[in-house]
Structure 1
Amino acid sequence: MSDAELTVEVTGAVATVVIRNPARRNAMTAAMWRQLPVLLDGLEADRAVHALVLTGAAGTFCAGADLGDLDELLDAGDASIAVTAEERLATFAKPTVAEIRGACVGGGCQLAVACDLRIAAADARFGVPPARLGLVYPAPTTRRLARLVGPSAAKHLLFTGELIDAERALRIGLVDEVLPADAVAARVAALTGVIAERSRLTVAAAKEIIDERADAERIAWWHGQVRASGEAREGVAAANERRPPRFGWTPPAAH
């Protein structure tokens, strides 16, 4: 029986998905790629969960896709299970943070880039190796990487397949913060704790708009939610009274 799996831990309002494949430095197997969207569907529907952390077990984020499943990935092209999982992570309705230590390569980098924020340990290493393997990086994945780091940096990563360290990843915008390895978990917990306390309406709307997934009708719907929920009135009242706001908006079951 394989010990490669994704596990979920929930602490307060934050869910943590942990990538586990100790024999392969947490490489994602076909079963794990298929498992991720299912887990995300459940966590998105759970109204008690306000934010999600993606990380890897035992000091490694993810060393990529398990190439034992190469034929399946090649045959599917941009419709592969890896791209499907990545897209589901990118469209997850709640804030997502990648907590990165050690190797974050190939499919691991793909998953990290699909998160909203990335907090890295100083020992983290990043790479996008298709040019070393003769593969074509999926178009949605390539475009997401280029939007994040810019065309030139994306080309450098893709053309060379070289690993870069955390400091360079920070300079090009691949990660948001770099910390000593023993400080990363506390920082991610603090960050997600702050996000979980903020207006879920504001955060959800901001994510959709920034990711260009909200058309004019959807944006009007968000403004209607502000009016109907009383969220802004509560926020202003709390600021005037110098107290923490008591936000109560929760996302509809479906839209």
Structure 2
Amino acid sequence: MEPQLSHQVTDSVATVVVRNPAKRNAMTAAMWRSLPPLLARLAADPAVRALVLTGEGATFCAGADIATLQGSTAEAQGLAVAAEEALAAFPKPTLAAVRGHCVGGGAQLAAACDLRLAEEGALFGVTPARLGIVYPASSTRRLVSLVGPATAKYLLFTAELIDAGRALRTGLVDEVLPEGELDKRVAELTRILVSRSQLTQAAAKEFADGRTDRDAHWADQALGSGDTAEGVAAFLERRQPRFTWTTAGRTPRGRRA
């Protein structure tokens, strides 16, 4: 099988799978390049309300496939950063489902997701110090925001791998599941995510990521959305809400949450 990113959309959840089994799902140059346009298409799809990123088989992603990243280190790093930033900017909730190795560029992608779930036995590492590479400033800041400066320095200085338990304690992952339970929990959590208000999620994502200039924008969106009235009505009527605001700022005709 040629290395590739595959995807499918089921029950409002887009699942993107990193496939390069011969190299533990390492990302080739072509795969890095293909991720931003793929994410743009999925972001524009009104049927998509959440996204899961995972790896094929027993490995999430072992980093970059160095053999395919010919040319300058800066050019190769630029591909990874562009993919990472596109994932971080995805306007709907994103979740990394991690088995096995999540290392280097794989950890970069996982950190760019909103949530990270891992199976017991997963291993995490941020490994540029093994190659003498300067880790990008944006990626370093994102890592620090997740785990704090002390753990970020440990990961970057040593390039050592940490297990899922330590990743959970430091905030690198949100939940650790027993072997065989990851898919079930991902399905359960994404069902919850797609049932909630996209208005709330989109605003919270921007605020949590440090945007400080969008208060008026989101106040206007809330006033015109109808989501608050629907949420209150559903609560009082003891039914599931039918939220209709989308990240496009409109409700497609015939759409139901």
Structure 1-normalised TM-score?
0.95
Distance 2:25 2:72 in 1: 18
Q: Which residue of 1 aligns with 2:15?
A: 16
List per-residue Cα deviations over 1:74-127 (Å, max 9, x = no partner). 03376x111000000001101000000000000000000000000000010001
Matches within 5 A, 1:3-82: 3-72=2-71, 74-76=73-75, 80-82=78-80
Distance 2:200 2:189 in 1: 16
Q: Which residue of 2 aligns with 1:201?
A: 199
8 A contact 1:73–1:81 mirrored in 2: no
Matches within 5 A, 1:172-187: 172-187=170-185
List per-residue Cα deviations over 1:160-187 (Å, max 9, x = no partner). 0101000000000000000012100110
Structure 1 residue 32: Cα displacement: 0.1
Matches within 5 A, 1:1-255: 3-72=2-71, 74-76=73-75, 80-215=78-213, 218-252=214-248
Q: Comparing both structures, which one devotes a greater share of its residues to helix?
A: 1
8 A contact 2:19–2:25 mirrored in 1: yes
Identity, in percent, stands at 61
Residue type of the partner of 1:118?
R
8 A contact 2:29–2:76 mirrored in 1: no
- Say which SS state the counterpart of residue 181 (structure 2) adopts: helix
8 A contact 2:91–2:247 mirrored in 1: no
8 A contact 2:6–2:19 mirrored in 1: yes
Q: Which runs of 5+ in 1 are unaligned?
A: none
Structure 1 residue 242: Cα displacement: 1.0
Pairwise CA RMSD? 1.5
Structure 1 residue 251: Cα displacement: 2.2
- Say which SS state the counterpart of residue 208 (structure 1) adopts: helix
Structure 1 residue 213: Cα displacement: 3.0
Residue type of the partner of 2:174?
D
8 A contact 1:120–1:175 mirrored in 2: yes
Structure 1 residue 134: Cα displacement: 1.1
- Say which SS state the counterpart of residue 168 (structure 2) adopts: helix
Structure 1 residue 228: Cα displacement: 1.0
Structure 1 residue 224: Cα displacement: 1.1
Distance 1:72 1:58 in 2: 30
- Say which SS state the counterpart of residue 212 (structure 1) adopts: coil
Distance 1:169 1:252 in 2: 35
Distance 1:253 1:171 in 2: 37
How many correspondences in the alignment?
250
8 A contact 1:52–1:96 mirrored in 2: yes
8 A contact 1:131–1:160 mirrored in 2: yes
Residue type of the partner of 1:139?
A
Structure 1 residue 71: Cα displacement: 4.1
Distance 2:72 2:236 in 1: 55
